[in-house]
Amino acid sequence: MAQELLAPILNDYLDRLVPERPAEMQAMEAKARQTNFPIVGPAAGKFCYTVARMIGARRVFELGSGFGYSTAWFANAVRENGGGTVYHVVWNEDLSRQARQHLSALGYDDLIEYHVSEAVQALRETDGPFDLIFNDIDKKGYPAALPVIAEKLRPGGVLIVDNLLWQGRIFDPSDQDENTVGVREFTRMITTSADWSASIVPIRDGLLVAYKK
């Protein structure tokens, strides 16, 4: 059964630690609350930004980008790293349009490349290597995405994957939904592979951070 794993007081505290965002990003956060759209939120967004800055990421590929909230965090990091490209990929034309509006208002037009496509196929068709890949597609697709990600990510690059705690569903053995099974199998694959060093950070719904050896 889905549940809120972190106490609301802790979630609120972590979000309050994030410095104030530009007005456009705050508007995106408000939109997500009003429409119940699943963005990564301030604490996880800042975490993604920090990782991208730490590794000097200049080529970032997002598998599943929504209306551009996580993209904005990565774009800010890439700009501060000296410039580069963040690949925004969604399957929905309207989401892509919304993202273009938000990210243009934030001044990131020179950093974003937009694709309306099935995300893993878009990654296959885009020349690598990438410094950082962010994965937030349908959870049932996580296991099949891993070999493509491994092929496109540079050695020493970082993979960040959202929803690895999956609102507690992974802890219920009777939950055999295809998305829950996908999260479990992906977690098993990457944490037991000699090619990766991976940890799950319990921010929001669980962010897996993995270093490609």
Chain segment 168-183, per-residue pLDDT in tens? 999 999 999 999 999 9
Task: Provide mean pLDDT across the span 71-90.
Answer: 98
Q: Is the pLDDT of residue 88 over 80?
A: yes
Contact in structure between 99 and 132 (CB atoms under 8 Å) = no
Task: Provide mean pLDDT across the span 82-99.
Answer: 96
Q: Give the predicted TM-score (pTM) of the model.
A: 0.96
Distance CA 8, CA 209 (A): 23
Q: Is the peptide bond before 129 cis (omega within 30 degrees of 0)?
A: yes
- For the chain, the domains span 8-212
pLDDT of residue 171: 94
pLDDT bin (cut points 50, 70, 90) of residue 75 is very high
Tokens 């697709």, located at residue: 141
| Run of H or E including 66 | none
pLDDT bin (cut points 50, 70, 90) of residue 1 is low
| Run of H or E including 186 | helix 178-191
Task: Provide mean pLDDT across the span 143-165.
Answer: 98
pLDDT of residue 115: 96
Distances 173 to 111, 138, 177, 180 between C-alpha atoms, Å = 43, 20, 10, 10
Distance CA 194, CA 12 (A): 36
Q: Is the pLDDT of residue 2 over 80?
A: no
Distance CA 101, CA 108 (A): 10
By three-state DSSP, how is residue 106 classified?
Answer: coil
Question: What's the CATH code, domain 8-212?
Answer: 3.40.50.150
pLDDT bin (cut points 50, 70, 90) of residue 3 is low
CA atoms within 13 A on the CB side of 140: 4
pLDDT of residue 160: 98
pLDDT bin (cut points 50, 70, 90) of residue 6 is confident
**109-131 pLDDT, tens per residue?**
999 999 999 999 999 999 999 99
